[in-house]
Amino acid sequence: MEQQEYATGAARTAGGTSDGRTGGAGRGTTAAVVVVRGSGPRVLPGAGVDAPKDAAPVRGSGSPSTAGLSPDPGLLRLARWFAEAEPGTADDLCAASLGLYPARHFGAPAGPAAGPATAGPATGPATGPAADLAAAAPLATEVSWWHGPTAHTPAPLRAREPRPAGGLRRARRDAAALPVVLSGAKPGKPGRHRKPERSRGAGTVPQDRSAATTAAERRIAARLLVAHPLVTASGPHADGFPLIRRHRDWLAERFDTLLGYRLVVGPWHARLHKAGLGPGATRRLEHPATGAPFTPGGYAQLALALALLVDAPERLPLDGLLAAMDAARPGPGPAARPADRAELAMALAVLADWQVLTDLPAAALADPAAAGPTVLTVDRELARAVPVGPPALADDATDLIRRAAEAEPGTAVRRRLAETPAVLAADLPEDQRAWLRDHGRTGPAALADFLGLEAEQRAEGVALLDPAEELTDLALPGADTAAQAALLLVERLVEEVRPLPGETAGTDVPVPDALIDGVLGDIADEYGLPAGWRRDYLADRTALRRDALDLLHRMGLITPAPRGTRPPGWLLRAPAARYAPAPDLLPAPGTGRHSRPDPDPTISVPIVPAPTAPRAGQPV
């Protein structure tokens, strides 16, 4: 489907109601949910004879409209909500209004063979693993994460292969893309004593190979879109853009059916409109170069810039954009505070990373106000493709987060499976919990086949794993100091606090703060210097604790205790046990510090019969 909605020049607002699968953003609703006004190139009075063609004047005479930049009202409202939100709420609001978050999954499957608890990608609706899943036992009969197979790595400090800068690895990691060998022999010439295959038709082999290639290309394109919802023809993932265009109709139908996501493919970009994940989704926007998390003020600067860029001229002076942003900033209140230079620089860096702005000098990323005379190139089509949430329909930020995540139970659960490391039944509302209980076996099968994932069924819930470790924005195990410390920390916490077999094992187990501090201190002393950990972390244990816990929280392995809990602390979640060594409930004799050693089997020890009591009348 080509992108047509931006060629009309008409304003669009959200309309209709959700069809139960779309969450307000699928095929059953109006496409755009923020006002986008198409405008052609224009030269405004006051630009000067030396100004670039289609450039707005550097200085306006008052309102932003006199400078040629009229802010979009919906995005201007969104900027105010960002500025007034708490940090966690601002992250959820970004996921709901922009939907540009990547997927996040665990990597290696648990155990060498998990039996019926682990299933590979489905091959069809009626045959293969999907049919096996349908005939298996209900979800409640599965083994618990607390005592099931683990994905423990004996050498957690082993350096990992660096991920290529080009993005997802291509077909070499996809078994469906390998050459099809009908005879079962190795690829190449047929064996010397092997009879040639008899084809049923002249085109059998090419058709099989074509089908395998098509399936591999579709899976690669789907994985790329889930990992990067905005793909451009000239961006870092340009090699996957032709695959998306080639299979756009099939991809659009599958995304709409399985996840209720709308896929828009234009001549130069593809945009997967993801829905929000609801409150507490632990998704945040980060600086593309430094990884620094966005603050509410940074989100507000981003929304304010987008409000002006959706109708900006193609050539725009940087100081004109900054002046228009100052003029368009909302009235009295927290949103009206002066722009922070660091927050403004982060917003511009993200817009440059998304290719909404080009020709942005490096000096502007450090201090936009001191960058000097600079003329930016604006891609209005990409600027209009970024917002997906419905600010025009929502009453406030909380209402927008709720509306974006609305969907019928099956779609809502599949969205969580596609985007989050694990879906626990205890975290779901009753209708979604009932759907997972009834479809916990068959539900994830089609989604796993679509994205090339593996389903891991447990008593507490389901996780879709990516053994290639590509379809995730966070890696655990990881190569950096915080990731190594987080992995060692979660291993030892599970060994300390997980319930024993036979005990009632809930989803979460309380972890005292003192235990976290003690274990982390032991880990830093034991592994820090030998493993070459960062010296600043070894000197500042508080920062190491903060970043290690933040990674575990974002991976869904721990969660803060409910507000009001005294003393405040953390809860260890059941999926954390998949990273711990298998429990040794019956240690081998002779391994304790004060135990007697086992006798040497080569030493012959005479056997002396035990004395027996004398019978009555028998002399002693």
pLDDT tens digits, 441-475: 788 898 999 999 999 999 999 999 999 989 999 98
590, part of any domain? no
Helix and strand numbers, DSSP H then E, in the chain:
19, 13
| H or E element, residue 147 | none
What would the pLDDT profile of 220-279 be if each residue is shown by its tens digit? 999 999 999 999 999 999 999 999 999 999 999 999 999 999 999 999 999 999 998 999
Q: Name the token pair of 565.
A: 């809990």
Number of domains in the chain: 2
The answer on pLDDT for 127 being more than 60 is no
Q: Which of 400, 433, 453 is the last residue of a domain?
A: 400
262-265 β-sheet, strand order? 230-232, 269-273, 262-265
512, part of any domain? yes
The answer on pLDDT for 162 being more than 80 is no
Asked whether residue 385 falls in the same domain as residue 286, the answer is yes
Percent of the chain past pLDDT 90, that is, above it, reads 48
DSSP state for residue 247 in the 8-state scheme? T
Q: Please name the residue that has the structure tokens 């089609």.
A: 446
Residue 231 β-bridge partners? 270
The answer on pLDDT for 95 being more than 70 is yes
Sequence-ordered alpha helix ranges (H) in 2-157:
73-84, 87-97, 129-134
Asked whether residue 393 falls in the same domain as residue 492, the answer is no
The arithmetic mean of pLDDT across residues 125-147, rounded, is 50
29, part of any domain? no
Which residue did the predictor score with more confidence, 339 or 70? 70
C-alpha 297/C-alpha 617 separation (Å) is 101
Confidence at residue 195, expressed as pLDDT on a 0 to 100 scale: 44
CATH of the domain at 531: 1.10.10
Asked whether residue 299 falls in the same domain as residue 394, the answer is yes
C-alpha 275/C-alpha 277 separation (Å) is 7
Confidence at residue 179, expressed as pLDDT on a 0 to 100 scale: 35
DSSP state for residue 161 in the 8-state scheme? P
Of 99-103, 107-111, 553-557, the least confident: 107-111
Asked whether residue 395 falls in the same domain as residue 496, the answer is no
The answer on pLDDT for 400 being more than 50 is yes
The arithmetic mean of pLDDT across residues 131-160, rounded, is 58
Q: Is 324 helix (H, G, I), strand (E, B) or coil?
A: helix
Which residue did the predictor score with more confidence, 209 or 394? 394
The answer on pLDDT for 18 being more than 60 is no
C-alpha 85/C-alpha 610 separation (Å) is 81
Residue 358 β-bridge partners? 377
C-alpha 46/C-alpha 48 separation (Å) is 5
Confidence at residue 427, expressed as pLDDT on a 0 to 100 scale: 93
Sequence-ordered alpha helix ranges (H) in 283-392:
296-309, 318-328, 341-353, 362-366, 380-385
The amino acid occupying position 246 is R
Burial 226-252 (b: 16+ CB within 10 A, else e): bbbbbbbbebebeebbebbbebbeebb
DSSP letter for each residue of 362-374: HHHHH-GGGS-S-
The answer on pLDDT for 122 being more than 60 is no
Q: Name the token pair of 35.
A: 């006002």
Q: Which of 382, 400, 418 is the last residue of a domain?
A: 400
505, part of any domain? yes
Which residue did the predictor score with more confidence, 436 or 331? 436
571, part of any domain? yes
Sequence-ordered alpha helix ranges (H) in 140-294:
204-227, 241-246, 248-259
Give the contacts of 561 (CB within 8 A, at least 6 positions apart): 510, 568, 569, 570, 571
348, part of any domain? yes
Residue 595's φ and ψ, nearest 5 degrees, are: -85, 155
Q: Which of 373, 400, 427 is the last residue of a domain?
A: 400
The arithmetic mean of pLDDT across residues 119-145, rounded, is 45
Confidence band of 12 (pLDDT split at 50, 70, 90) = very low
Helices 430-439 and 409-419: crossing angle in degrees, nearest 10, is 80
Torsion of CA 324, 286, 217, 423, to 10 degrees: -120
Confidence band of 111 (pLDDT split at 50, 70, 90) = low
C-alpha 461/C-alpha 507 separation (Å) is 9
What would the pLDDT profile of 570-620 be if each residue is shown by its tens digit? 999 999 999 988 665 554 554 544 444 555 545 444 444 444 555 555 554
What's the length of the chain?
Answer: 620
Sequence-ordered alpha helix ranges (H) in 44-176:
73-84, 87-97, 129-134
Confidence at residue 193, expressed as pLDDT on a 0 to 100 scale: 43
DSSP letter for each residue of 533-548: --HHHHH-HHHHHHHH
The answer on pLDDT for 28 being more than 50 is no
Confidence at residue 331, expressed as pLDDT on a 0 to 100 scale: 58
Confidence at residue 26, expressed as pLDDT on a 0 to 100 scale: 38
248, part of any domain? no
Confidence at residue 42, expressed as pLDDT on a 0 to 100 scale: 33
Q: Please name the residue that has the structure tokens 């920062």.
A: 543
Contact (Cβ atoms closer than 8 angstroms) between residue 380 and residue 314 = yes
Range of the domain at 320: 64-101+279-400
Confidence at residue 410, expressed as pLDDT on a 0 to 100 scale: 95
Q: Is 496 exposed, middle or buried (0-12, 13-18, 19+ CB in 10 A)?
A: middle
Confidence at residue 6, expressed as pLDDT on a 0 to 100 scale: 33
Confidence at residue 168, expressed as pLDDT on a 0 to 100 scale: 52
| 58, 344, 488 from 320: Cα distances, Å | 4, 14, 51
Asked whether residue 380 falls in the same domain as residue 490, the answer is no
Of 337-341, 392-396, 417-421, the least confident: 337-341
The arithmetic mean of pLDDT across residues 28-55, rounded, is 36
Q: Is 463 helix (H, G, I), strand (E, B) or coil?
A: strand
Confidence at residue 594, expressed as pLDDT on a 0 to 100 scale: 45
Q: In this structure, are strands 570-573 and 508-511 parallel, antiparallel, or unpaired?
A: antiparallel
DSSP state for residue 191 in the 8-state scheme? P
309, part of any domain? yes
